[in-house]
């Protein structure tokens, strides 16, 4: 991956591991690895850690755990990723796998093949799963779509396969952008344009539908600008939200002018389908 990482090892009771992982995703860790005995959270050395220690201590007030951090020099992260990534199958609608996994065959209508270079398996595929579930019922054919926080480009590629007219995949991490472009080529998603940067890069554009599988903090800062980028009756589908933050998010989307059409939950996570009034 071309950079060094701090590896934060977290030891927690097995029944609390999923809850701790959900809380850790609100911190600036780039990716995670789940083991039987602990969770490992990876933080680029270049990332500021000024407030991280205080935030971790704050989490210990919610869930008891112990932890330690160690420096890990640049290594072949793909080996780690391949040992931790599992295929995702959303009913008979869509399957996501890596090149080294067998094909889903006739078990799914749409199959996506990805080869990320920057993930170790986050352990919370629930957010991706729910976004894809909701996409099955969305009016994507002919739509102008923004995949906000695109990551490996999964949602943008699926939007292309579902007939969207144009898709912008916005992602702040340069490595993720390179990876998303490669995945688009691999899946022949020719209508996807990968854009590196924040929402400011596309704030003057208009979309019929926005997909945002991203964290709570970014979502809370984005509802008002996203509202302005959608037409009347435009749709915003979001995930990356903890169950515990449901009331906070609902209040924020209503204040921004959205109507909540549907809420789904899976594990510690929820997803929402919203409509601009």
SS3 109: coil
High-pLDDT (> 90) share of the chain, %: 61
To the nearest 10°, report the CA torsion of 150, 152, 155, 159.
Answer: 100
List phi, psi (to 5°) of 268: -90, 5
What is the token pair recorded at 10? 């977290």
Decide if pLDDT at 258 tops 90: yes
Length of the chain: 277
Distance, in Å, from the CA atom of 20 to the CA atom of 13, rounded to the nearest integer, reads 10
Decide if pLDDT at 118 tops 70: no
Distance, in Å, from the CA atom of 264 to the CA atom of 228, rounded to the nearest integer, reads 25
Pairing of strands 31-34, 39-44: antiparallel
Nearest residue to 213 (alpha-carbon basis) of 149, 161, 270 = 149
Q: Note the pLDDT of residue 155.
A: 96
Decide if pLDDT at 270 tops 60: yes
Confidence of residue 145 (pLDDT cuts 50, 70, 90): very high
Output 111 or 1, whichever has higher pLDDT.
Answer: 111
What is the token pair recorded at 11? 């030891």
Q: Note the pLDDT of residue 79.
A: 66
Domains annotated on the chain, with CATH: 5-75 (3.30.70.270), 138-276 (3.40.50.150)
List phi, psi (to 5°) of 7: -105, 115
Confidence of residue 1 (pLDDT cuts 50, 70, 90): very low
Q: Note the pLDDT of residue 21.
A: 86
Q: Note the pLDDT of residue 75.
A: 61
Give me the mean pLDDT over the 132-143 stretch.
Answer: 98
Give me the mean pLDDT over the 246-251 stretch.
Answer: 96
pLDDT tens track for 185-201: 999 999 999 999 999 99
Is the separation of the CB atoms in 158 and 213 below 8 Å? no
Give me the mean pLDDT over the 103-124 stretch.
Answer: 79
The reported pTM is: 0.83
Distance, in Å, from the CA atom of 39 to the CA atom of 147, rounded to the nearest integer, reads 29
High-pLDDT (> 70) share of the chain, %: 91
Confidence of residue 119 (pLDDT cuts 50, 70, 90): low
What is the token pair recorded at 262? 């549907």
Give me the mean pLDDT over the 164-193 stretch.
Answer: 94
Q: How far is CA 112 from CA 81, 109, 155, 165, 266, in A?
A: 17, 10, 10, 19, 22
Q: Note the pLDDT of residue 78.
A: 62
What sections of 162-263 are H helices per DSSP? 174-186, 216-229, 246-256
Confidence of residue 167 (pLDDT cuts 50, 70, 90): very high
Distance, in Å, from the CA atom of 159 to the CA atom of 123, rounded to the nearest integer, reads 24
Distance, in Å, from the CA atom of 182 to the CA atom of 152, rounded to the nearest integer, reads 9
State the average pLDDT for the chain.
90
Query: Is residue 17 packed enough to be buried (19+ CB in 10 Å), middle (13-18) or exposed (0-12)?
Result: buried
Give me the mean pLDDT over the 132-150 stretch.
Answer: 97
């Amino acid at each position: 991956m071309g950079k060094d990482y701090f590896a934060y090892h977290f030891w927690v009771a097995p029944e609390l591991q999923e809850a701790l992982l959900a809380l850790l995703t609100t911190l600036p860790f780039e990716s995670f690895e789940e083991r039987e005995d602990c969770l490992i959270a990876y933080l680029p050395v270049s990332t500021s850690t000024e407030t991280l220690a205080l935030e971790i201590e704050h989490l210990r007030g919610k869930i008891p755990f112990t932890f330690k951090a160690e420096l890990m020099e640049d290594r072949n992260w793909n080996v780690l990723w391949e040992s931790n990534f599992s295929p995702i199958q959303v009913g008979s609608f869509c399957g996501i796998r890596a090149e080294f996994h067998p094909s889903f065959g006739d078990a799914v209508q749409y199959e996506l093949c990805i080869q990320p270079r920057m993930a170790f398996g986050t352990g919370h595929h629930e957010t991706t799963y729910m976004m894809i579930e909701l996409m099955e019922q969305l009016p994507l054919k002919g739509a102008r779509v923004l995949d906000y926080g695109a990551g490996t480009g999964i949602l943008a590629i699926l939007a292309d396969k579902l007939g969207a007219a144009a898709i912008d995949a916005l992602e702040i991490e340069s490595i993720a952008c390179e990876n998303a472009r490669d995945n688009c080529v691999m899946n022949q998603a020719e209508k996807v344009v990968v854009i590196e940067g924040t929402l400011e890069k596309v704030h003057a554009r208009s979309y019929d539908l926005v997909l945002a599988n991203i964290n709570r903090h970014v979502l809370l800062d984005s509802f008002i600008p996203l509202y302005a980028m959608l037409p009347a009756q435009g749709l915003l589908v979001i995930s990356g939200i903890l169950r515990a933050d449901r009331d906070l998010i609902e209040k924020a989307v209503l204040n921004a002018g959205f109507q909540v059409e549907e809420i789904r939950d899976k594990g510690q996570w929820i997803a929402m389908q919203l409509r601009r009034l």
